[in-house]
Each structure stands twice: as structure tokens, then as C-alpha cells.
Structure 1
């Protein structure tokens, strides 16, 4: 490794750089479009379901692209793949400033997801896990907290940009900002050092299960598509839901911004919880928290209550992705980790796309968000049922190995 910073300290440079990269890139591609839904509806006259398909296209691109970019990072290294991804993502946002038709947005955001975000998320998260031979939960929690910060910050800032310089101006400024920040941050990424014998023994002692890797991938893939369907509904539609209650776009954006600021603490807390009680139990705890509260948003029409409820919901919801990432870190070997992340997160992004689209489509069909948030809650329950089977398998394997 070509750096004067000792390896034990440089791994924290990796964590912070990864958190910032994920904040900007994932904040833009996962739910950055939430701030554009109402303005695009007003400017172009497009239905919300069709606008939500822009987000759907981006996340589907991210989902499929991860199948290729994760293994590519395993072979070629993290830094070149991530640098390619951030360049594509920034250029796509610049190009979005000149789009005027829905099909153009669909195509552009699919490209941004497939070649941009997919070259960022699986490689970055695998790199963070690989730099920590033991105690990876907190490190992954910090990195994923960056994503939470971005998922709140990007829509919040976008709402002000749209008001000040319009939809096209907001896309253009975001694209420039990505290029000037993400490329330098990507240069900080390095491959982890090889483990010595003591580290390999410590890492082996931390392993939670003897469940075959393919079983882990299949079970987590089935669970996460439901989990993310639940998660993405408020991420994409809480801002327009609040606007429907008569509040300004900046006020609505500030609610999700506060919710996802709290989510930073939640991701850290659940990362530590995963180190203490195990990754899968921590994941189930966070999912149960999210599932129990998601439907409650439709009963609120007071801005102060939106803030309070968003804070409570945000802390628990935040642990879901931390739980997923730490579970994959604990239950898969390093040689297949980026591949596993690419496959499982592909299904997670499917869920994000489904949740975001169904929210807009059911709103167009019914005139409100009741059905959409009900579907989200049902998906959360089904996820809990599936992931409980993985917990039983890991405990059974541990008992047989004892």
C-alpha cells in the first residue's frame, strides 16, 4: 500500500471516504428524485407514477449493474471501478439538465444506475468490510450512515435548488458537485492489506455461521426485496405526502432530512448492536421497528408530528441496511463478498424500485397514499418471516459445530 499512514489508521480513512462517497452518490440515485416529483408534475403535467418510474429506472440499473461491477471490483480493485462509476453518475446528472421527455429520463437514469451507482455501492461496501478483519459492524455502520445522510441531504438541498434555479439548474449543479467531490474522494480508496495468521484466526473466530454461502445469498435476496419495498415507500413518497397536507416543499424536505440525520445515529447504533448480539438478530430488530411504524405516517397531518414521528421511525429504519451489510460481511468469505453484495443488493434495489413505483401508481389510482403504505407494511412482515429462517439456520449450524 502506497501511503505513509499506518495500515491500522488508514482503514479509517477508507471508512470516512466511503461514507462521503455513498452520501453523495446514493443520496442522488436512491431517493434524490423525491424532491422532483411535485415540481415535475406541476411543470410537465406528468402523473406521479410516471415520474416515480425515473427513480425506478435508476434503481433497476443499479440492481443489474451490481451483478457485473461487484465481481469486477474483486478482480480489478476498488478504486478504478469506483472512479469510473462516479464519473458516469456525475455526467448523467449533467445531461439530465437538458432532458425534456420522460423516456429520456428513464434511459439516462438507467445508465446512471447501471454504470454509475452500481460501480460504487457494492465495491465500496465490500472494501470497508475487507479492511476490518474483526469488529466490522461499527465500520460498516459508519459507512452506511453516510448513505443515510445523503438520502436526507440530497433531497433537502435539491428542494432549495429547484426553488432557486429550477429543475434543470438543480440537475446541473448536482452533476458538477458530484464530479468535483467524488473523484478526489475515490483516489483515497486502496486495497486492504493481506491478513496475517493472527488476523485470520480472529476473523474466523468472529464468523457467525457455517451456512453455505449460496444459501445465505438466496435467503437474503428473498428477504431484502420485501424489506426494501417497505423502506423505499416513505423514502420516495414522504415528501409529496407532506406536501399534500399543505406544507411547502422546503418544509417537507426538512422532515426527511431530519429523519435521515437521526438515521446516521441509528446506523451507528445498529452496527454496534450487530457486533454485540449478532448481525442477523440486529437486522431483524431494525426491520421489525420499521415495519411496525411505516403505516403510521398516513395518520399525521401536523408538521411537528411529522418531525417527531420521523425521528422515531428514522432511528430504527436506519439499522436495516446496516444489518444487511454486516450480515453479508459475517456470513460470506472475502473472496465472494463483493459478488454476494452485488447479488443481494440487486434484489434490494428491485425492492427500492418496486416500493417507489407502487407508491406513485397507487396514489394515481386511489388519490391518496393509504394503499401504498399498507403494501409497505405487508412487505415488511413477509421479510421478517423469511429472515427468521436464516436466523434458525445459523443457530442450528453453530450448535452442530460446537
Structure 2
């Protein structure tokens, strides 16, 4: 048992680092490329935002396919294919000069990059049949680190070598770092998998109902969170704040998000997955519109980490809730479906942020729409929580 748990933490560390590198590029890494691409090609911001949306659409579609494949294929094989394709597509983006080329490359990166999220998070959960919230929180914290660290480092790369050089450096570094990490991942021993299934018990509601409910919820909560992730940097640049300072604010938000993901993972172990998810969603929904009311760089540096700590718990809450409501034998498949709607929500949120900026010349409507999506998400999750509690009362 100690040996199994020891390697489980190796898996957590490897997964966290892979998610930091890959998701940092696919989820919001494009945020620091808005202004350089706009300046060189004179493309509308909504069109540039669709590059990110194409990657997220790829994550959505690929998540369903890769989840099914991962349930019957060695996880190391699935992971190696994913990291090679992500690195290759980002490298090739350095030579793109048409929007459709960016759309295609990021769509393909997302399709194969989907092998690096739902299957790997399901893998982490299978190594920790009890107290999985903390392990999943730590693994997903890697994504938060990457979503802050990758744009921050990229901003300096763009200043030093231009946007093409930045894409090239990111792609090659991704391959060099992620391929060895992918070689470390493996499934838990069969006996441990059996023990995990016995400890988990039966999901409280039918899995199909859980998937439909959670898919609708995450579509909305991720549409909310995508707006500051994708548009905080250009929002600050519109206030005459430099790209490096703006990416520093994003980094401070996502450094706090690392702590938030771990904290809300532990909270889920204490109060339950759905209440923890709702607490983080409420935090995000209440705070997101405030970004449009701040003008001073110092105030952004104060507020962004406060927002980041709470918003980060949303993804941990989604993952732990999905784990609690899905059966282990089909978990990668069902989590792939749920997370497909999460990525779609990210794409929709990021696109509408750019679209309404193009229409109005400001981000007020974009961030207001984000808050509205958060409110509807809370209503859905509150209804799900009450439905599960009622079922348990009737069963007792």
C-alpha cells in the first residue's frame, strides 16, 4: 500500500506538469497574441478569439473520443500521442499567416490534447480511491500554473523574438518537456483498481442524468470563467498597460488559483463535491464583473489573486463532482463528455468576449454576460444538489 500511494504521487506530479504545459497553451495561452496578431494582420478581435475557440472545440470533440479510447487503451500510449501532437501543432503555428491555418492547427492540437485532460484526471482518481479530492486538486493546480505561467513567459518571448519565434519556442519546449513526462504515467495495479471501485460505491443518481445535468452546468460556468482568462490581458492593454505588466496580473491571478484548486479539492473531501463546486462558482460569479470597474494597475494586482483563488475551485469542483457521479469502469468516457461541454463553454465565453468588444469598443457587455452565465450555472447546480438530497432521503 505505501508503495502504491508513493507512485500515485509521482503520477500526480507528472500529470500536473503536463497539464501546466499543454492546457496553459490551449485554454488561454493565446491571450497574449491578441494584440500582436491584430497589429500585423488587422484581423478583428472576435476572429482572433476564434483561434482559441477552435482549440477548445477540438478539446470538446477530442475529449469524447479520447475518453472512450482511454477506457480500453494503455494510458501511456494515449498520453504520448497527445503530447506529440500538441507540441507539433504549436510549432507549426509559427509559420501560419492565414486565420484558417490557425483554426486548423489549434483544432487539431485540441483534439489530440484532449488525451491530456479527462483521461489523466480519471487516472489520478483511480490511484486514490479515498480522498481523491486533494489529489485531483493538486493535479489540476498544474493547469492553473500553466494558464498563468505560459502567457507570462510568452509575453517576454514575443518581446524578444516576435510572435512567430514565441510559437516556435513554445512548441519545441513542449515536446522536450512533455514526452519524458508522458513516459512516466501508467495505470494503478489491478488490485488497487478493484479496491477503488469497492470504496466508491454506487453513484447517487443515474450516470446519464448526471452527465446531462453536469454538461449543462459546466457549459455555463466555463463560459463565465473564459472571459477574464482570455480577455484580461487585452483589457489591461486597452488601459495603456504594457503586455508584460498585463500578463503579470494574469500570472498573479493564476498563482493564487493554484492554492484555490488545492484548497477547494480538500474542501470537497470535507463538505462534499457539489457544495464545494457551488461555493467556488458563487465566488467567481459575484466577482467577475468587477474587472471592468478597475482602472489602476496596482488595484488589478490586488483584486486578481482574490478572484483567482475562488474561481480556481470551479474546475476542481467539476472534476471531483464528475468523479462522484460517474461509475469507475466508464469514468474516462463520461468525464470526456462532461468536459467536452466545459471546453465548448470556454470557447463560447472567449468568443463572445471578443465579439461584443468589436461591437461596443469595450468589455462591459462581455463581462456582464459572463456573470449572467454564472448565475444560471448556480441555479442548475442548486437544483441538482436538492435532487440528490431528496433521493437520499427517500432511499433512507
State the TM-score bracket (shorter-chain normalisation). Answer: over 0.9
2:183 match = 187
2:68 match = 71
Q: Distance in 1 between matches of 2:59 and 2:204?
A: 30
Out of 275, 290, 294, the position equivalent to 1:300 is 294
Cα shift at 1:120? 1.1
**Which runs of no fewer than 5 residues in structure 1 stay unpaired?**
none
* Alignment deviations for residues 215-234 of structure 1 (CA, whole Å, 9 cap, x no partner): 11000000000000000000
1:103 match = 100
Q: Distance in 1 between matches of 2:226 and 2:343?
A: 9
Are residues 156 and 279 of structure 1, via their aligned partners in 2, closer, same or farther at CA, if it must alter by over 3 Å?
Answer: same
Q: Distance in 1 between matches of 2:395 and 2:357?
A: 51
Do 2:52 and 2:347's aligned partners in 1 also have CA atoms closer than 8 Å?
yes
Structure 1 position 11 matched with structure 2 position 5: no
**Which runs of no fewer than 5 residues in structure 2 stay unpaired?**
none
TM-score normalized with structure 1 length: 0.96
Cα shift at 1:195? 4.0
Do 2:38 and 2:45's aligned partners in 1 also have CA atoms closer than 8 Å?
yes
Cα shift at 1:269? 0.4
Out of 247, 256, 264, the position equivalent to 1:262 is 256
2:345 match = 351
Q: Distance in 2 between matches of 1:203 and 1:122?
A: 19
User: Aligned pairs, how many?
Assistant: 394
Do 2:197 and 2:328's aligned partners in 1 also have CA atoms closer than 8 Å?
no
Out of 320, 323, 328, the position equivalent to 1:326 is 320
Out of 379, 382, 385, the position equivalent to 2:376 is 382
Cα shift at 1:201? 4.2
Cα shift at 1:199? 5.1
* Alignment deviations for residues 141-176 of structure 1 (CA, whole Å, 9 cap, x no partner): 000100000000111111000010001100000000
Structure 1 position 42 matched with structure 2 position 34: no
Q: Distance in 2 between matches of 1:297 and 1:93?
A: 30
1:251 match = 245
Q: Distance in 2 between matches of 1:216 and 1:198?
A: 24
Out of 281, 288, 291, the position equivalent to 2:282 is 288
Cα shift at 1:200? 4.6
Do 2:31 and 2:233's aligned partners in 1 also have CA atoms closer than 8 Å?
yes
Q: Distance in 1 between matches of 2:65 and 2:365?
A: 35
Q: Distance in 2 between matches of 1:164 and 1:86?
A: 26
1:33 match = 30
Cα shift at 1:122? 1.2
SS at match of 1:6: helix
1:175 match = 171
Runs of 4+ in 1 over 6 A off after TM superposition: none
Query: What is the root-mean-square deviation in Å for CA atoms of aligned residues?
Result: 1.2
2:132 match = 136
Q: Distance in 2 between matches of 1:390 and 1:77?
A: 34
